[in-house]
Structure 1
Amino acid sequence: MVALSSNSDTDKVLFEEIGCVRTIILNRPKQLNALSSAMISQLLELFLACEKDSNAKLVILKSTGRAFCAGGDVAAIARDVRQGNWKLGAQVFRKKFTVCYAVATYSKPQVSILNGIVFGGGAGLSIHGRFRVATEKSVFAMPETALGLFPDVGASYFLSRLPGFFGEYLGLTGSLLDGTEMLACGLATHFVPSERLSSLEEALHNINSSDPTIISAIITEFSQVPKLKEKSPYNHLKIIDRCFSRRTIEEIMVALETEAANNKDDWISSAIQSLKKASPTSLRISLRSIRAGRLQGIGTCLIREFRMACHVLKGEFSKDFVEGCRAILLDKDRKPKWEPSKLELVTDDMVNHYFSKLNDEDWKDLQLPGRPSLPYAIAKL
């Protein structure tokens, strides 16, 4: 195992070659492997290098510590925005979305080992790939609406393709899923107990094939199909569909309140509280984004999400992103003062603005690179 260089900043991503397998390792455990700008650049470099390496048949993505990846380093981006440098933060999003597109259109199979926290950007690095291995330690969430942001990294693509309206539920509430729930809804392709991961990796190192059928069969040898907890929201998909299929956030909340009056399930009241605490602007743009993603390809989703991210960082209609980072990540008082403060104050014209091209001659939309034919792209969601 080697770092890309001896520079202390670049040892946050490690790289390993064993036979025909290339392993990329996120190595920022104290920060739960949150992605810095330098790490994102290194990841893109490594993914593209492995793709060009004729000796590489399989790429494994994993991490050190108790998190796979807790997302992007949004606190650093918020600091740039507060200092008047929104374009610096936007360039980080540009690189991050480009990596997500590379993963989604990768010409070689990728196995992501999700043994720990998988939030935000961590999902973008893995869910778009061919194989996603969850464990009993996996915890998935897209918690962006609580930060004044929205589910990005192509989440409008993969959330909208989950069963029913489960993606709207996850994206709007930021609710946590365990590894069993990830497998059940399709975010994970396999569930392997963490004690068997080293044996799984050893078996993968011994193959000399890019055939996804062979790779899947090897992972399956170490896999289980664990039983969902009785109170898992995924066991109540009919209720979720009834509520989260509604046209507006207000209608979703009314439907949830009605269900809460008839059902004393904790997950319903938790969903209501999450929606009430989230940024009203974030809720509105997130719902529209996920609904748009149902009819769009991954590239179109990323280009649209990049526009949205730029508008969020510019803060023309709302500075909720900076306020959310302050309340949740910096001061940690968990009492953000959203502005606009209520859903009814977030107009359709304001929402439309987040989906429009930036009125800035010096700024370009996300321009995704041309990619080869895609035998493994976005398998089976």
Structure 2
Amino acid sequence: MATNKASNYENDQVLVEGNSHVKTMLLNRPLKFNALNYQMVLQLIEEFQKLENDPTVGLVIVKANGRAFCVGGDVIECYHCLLTGEWPFAAQMYRKQLTLDYLVATYTKPLVFLINGAVMGGGVGLSMNARYRVVTENTVFAMPEAVIGHYPDVGASYFLSRLSSFFGEYLGLTGARLNGAEMVACGLATHFVPSKNLLLLEKSLHEVDVAEPNTIQGIISKYTQQVPLKEDSVLHRLDLIDHFFSKQTVEEILSSLEHENATLKQEWITKSIKSMKAASPINLKIFLMSIRKGRFEPLKECLTRDSRITTHTFRRTVSNDFLVGVRATLLEKNYKPKWKPSKLELVSNDMVEIYLTKMPENELKLPPRVMREKAPRAKL
């Protein structure tokens, strides 16, 4: 396949290849696990728009080079902006990332994401609203933002709240990991294809003459494999998850988990308690507030709220936890951040509500577009 390199960007961090009718977009920052920096976000927006406006292109495939699909946004880039007092620029970068996520979610042409490897944070926001989301035995999903002093954002209050009952609350509050089979079973992915067959799948998709849903679904299904959930999968415990994570407050959720764990020692409960106690208290409360609102809102509203919350985070309106968390977990790696407020009971509802306050000069302005229907997921 001929490669069309974007000459306006350095290091070819996004590549586009393919024929006149089907294009493959390649995330190409493997040494950084394809973390999305500002340059990549701008280039992805440009490439997606270019292909959407090209009448000869009928289908776009998105994949990544290296062991990870995309481990999130480049928070180190934002961290350095905050250190130098350039939080408005960091907020601008973040708004561009949300604009990219909305572009993907409302894309007028079929998108097939081949998610082979870790997909976290910003990588989740990029891919989870696409029509076709193919995962493999190498795929690992997680949104562990609260552990680094942030909250599950990039539209998580939309796509996590659409999962079964309160499973989204569980994923966001604990940062729990899922494998590919679990992603299909809970609805985060549409198909499971063994990694050894991805190139064959991509080749078959590049031979498509008419890129309509039944044809694409049929081709992917030829390579789809049914994989049973492991015996210890947390998805076998949805009744318990709903019992715990349906509580009204983070304190009640944590207390109920600890009460249960005193008599019923289950590994997933122990891990949930440990991760929640290690996370930023204010960001746990921000996420629970956000997902409870997002369950009844369209994606556009969820992204707008994320923009406001993150702008306040970068501005340090209430808390310094983002800087503290990034430094402790990603830079110094001592994993001992000193959160302020330090305990859940010290985080008031008024503190959380401040994050919803509009800042007109930093508002997200998304263009009028229509959400596409997602493809049905394969049955396991």
TM-score of Structure 1 vs Structure 2, range by shorter chain: over 0.9
In structure 2, the CA distance between the partners of 1:157 and 1:379, relative to structure 1 (3 Å rule), is farther
1:369 equivalent in alignment to 2:367: yes
The 3-state SS of whatever aligns with 2:297 is coil
Gap runs ≥5 in structure 2: none
The one-letter amino acid of 1:365's match is E
The one-letter amino acid of 2:273's match is I
CA distance in 1, matches of 2:314, 2:368: 27
Q: What pairs with 1:183-332 in structure 2 (closer than 5 Å)?
A: 183-332=184-333
TM-score by length of 1: 0.96
The 3-state SS of whatever aligns with 1:290 is helix
Q: What pairs with 1:1-381 in structure 2 (closer than 5 Å)?
A: 1-2=2-3, 4-6=5-7, 9-358=10-359, 363-371=361-369, 373-374=370-371, 376-379=372-375
The one-letter amino acid of 1:368's match is L
Measure how far apart 1:76 and its partner are.
Answer: 1.0
The one-letter amino acid of 2:322's match is F
TM-score by length of 2: 0.96
Gap runs ≥5 in structure 1: none
The one-letter amino acid of 1:300's match is E
The one-letter amino acid of 1:336's match is P
CA contact (8 A) 2:18 2:24 kept: yes
Measure how far apart 1:10 and its partner are.
Answer: 4.7
CA distance in 2, matches of 1:271, 1:280: 14
Q: Deviations over 1:297-335 (max 9, x none)?
A: 000110111000101111121010011100111011111
Measure how far apart 1:220 and its partner are.
Answer: 0.7
The 3-state SS of whatever aligns with 1:133 is strand
CA contact (8 A) 2:132 2:374 kept: no
The one-letter amino acid of 1:97's match is L
Aligned length: 376
CA distance in 2, matches of 1:93, 1:107: 23
In structure 2, the CA distance between the partners of 1:10 and 1:98, relative to structure 1 (3 Å rule), is farther
The 3-state SS of whatever aligns with 2:12 is helix
CA distance in 2, matches of 1:233, 1:209: 40
CA contact (8 A) 2:3 2:18 kept: no
CA contact (8 A) 2:91 2:362 kept: no
CA distance in 1, matches of 2:296, 2:5: 39
The one-letter amino acid of 2:88's match is K
CA contact (8 A) 2:311 2:362 kept: no
Q: Deviations over 1:235-255 (max 9, x none)?
A: 100010000000000100111
The 3-state SS of whatever aligns with 2:100 is helix
The 3-state SS of whatever aligns with 1:69 is coil
CA distance in 2, matches of 1:6, 1:378: 33
Measure how far apart 1:214 and its partner are.
Answer: 1.4
The 3-state SS of whatever aligns with 2:56 is coil
Q: Percent identity?
A: 50
The one-letter amino acid of 1:115's match is N
